[in-house]
């Protein structure tokens, strides 16, 4: 829905190396649109899988994001306890404001000096996608992980598996943070349903309507 409202953001997504369906409704949409082998890839699962592969291959990892330095330190402790040979060489929790020119220069210098090869960016959508697009010159492969930092550290609780299975993770998150998420869900969820239904009907009409005989 962010891409629907913002053409520039939509262009960033089209230019990305890989775009994955984090939410269950997106998975259902893909399957209804003909992609029968589509699978959900949750940000938390992608985050942990990337760290596991990085440990196995000696990849130098950095993390850019998180609520603050305390949360980020807790994340580092959690990851190193789980992946003791992980080369976590860089981590930074930026303030909730635009960085100054000096701060931007320091971020760039640190990432390049420490030779970060994989940078996991957790700033939330669409901020993290825009940040990654504007910092490709730094060199490392970047993956947006959204709120995975909070889920991995336990500062936010993941929805029960049965709620995830039935596409109700949004409802669980809303119950945890109603004031922050109310207007987002009111704005996006009804429009997603209406636009999604329209897209599905259009797809099935184009692909499965009966073709007239040649003689007609």
Domain 16-23+41-158 has CATH 3.40.50: yes
- Non-local (6+) Cβ contacts of 68 within 8 A are 93
DSSP 148: H
Burial readout 145-182 (b: 16 or more C-beta within 10 A, e: otherwise) = bbbbbbbbbeeeebbeeebbeeeebbeebbeeeeeeee
Measure the CA–CA gap between 141 and 1, rounded to whole angstroms. Answer: 25
Give the predicted TM-score (pTM) of the model.
Answer: 0.83
Measure the CA–CA gap between 38 and 113, rounded to whole angstroms. Answer: 39
Does the pLDDT of residue 216 top 70, yes or no?
no
87-92 and 118-122 strand pairing? unpaired
Query: Within the chain, what is the greatest distance between any pair of CA atoms?
Result: 74
Three-class secondary structure of residue 145 per DSSP: coil
pLDDT digit string (tens) for 37-66?
889 888 888 999 999 999 999 999 999 988
Q: Given pLDDT bands bounded at 50, 70 and 90, which one contains residue 198? A: very high
State the pLDDT at residue 151: 80
- Non-local (6+) Cβ contacts of 1 within 8 A are 187, 188, 191, 192
C-alpha closest to that of 138 among 175, 165, 179, 108: 108
Task: Compute the chain's Rg from CA coordinates.
Answer: 20
Mean pLDDT of 111-125: 93
pLDDT digit string (tens) for 124-176?
888 999 999 999 999 999 999 887 887 887 777 788 888 888 888 888 888 88
Does the pLDDT of residue 21 top 60, yes or no?
yes
Q: Given pLDDT bands bounded at 50, 70 and 90, which one contains residue 213? A: low
pLDDT digit string (tens) for 22-41?
888 899 999 999 888 889 88
Question: For residues 147, 149, 154 and 157, what is the CA-based torsion angle, rounded to 10 degrees?
Answer: 10
* Domain layout of the chain by residue ranges: 16-23+41-158
C-alpha closest to that of 171 among 189, 154, 195, 147: 189
Measure the CA–CA gap between 40 and 38, rounded to whole angstroms. Answer: 7
Say how many residues make up the chain.
216
């Amino acid at each position: 829905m962010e891409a629907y409202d913002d053409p520039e953001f939509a262009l960033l997504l089209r230019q990305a190396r890989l775009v994955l369906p984090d939410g269950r409704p997106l998975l259902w949409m893909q399957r209804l649109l003909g992609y029968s082998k589509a699978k959900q890839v949750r940000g938390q699962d992608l985050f942990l899988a990337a760290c596991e592969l990085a440990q196995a291959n000696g990849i130098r990892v950095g993390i850019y994001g998180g609520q603050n330095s305390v949360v980020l330190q807790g994340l580092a402790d959690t990851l190193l306890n789980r992946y003791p040979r992980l080369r976590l060489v860089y981590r930074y929790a930026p303030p909730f404001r635009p960085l100054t020119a000096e701060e931007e220069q320091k971020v760039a210098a640190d990432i390049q000096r420490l030779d970060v090869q994989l940078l996991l960016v957790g700033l939330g959508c669409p901020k993290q996608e825009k940040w990654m697009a504007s910092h490709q010159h730094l060199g490392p492969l970047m993956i947006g992980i959204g709120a995975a930092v909070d889920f991995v550290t336990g500062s936010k609780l993941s929805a029960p598996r049965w709620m995830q299975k039935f596409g109700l993770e949004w409802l669980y998150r809303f119950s945890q943070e109603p004031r922050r998420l109310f207007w987002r869900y009111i704005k996006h969820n009804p429009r997603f349903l209406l636009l999604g239904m329209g897209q599905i009907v259009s797809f099935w009409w184009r692909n499965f309507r009966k073709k007239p005989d040649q003689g007609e």
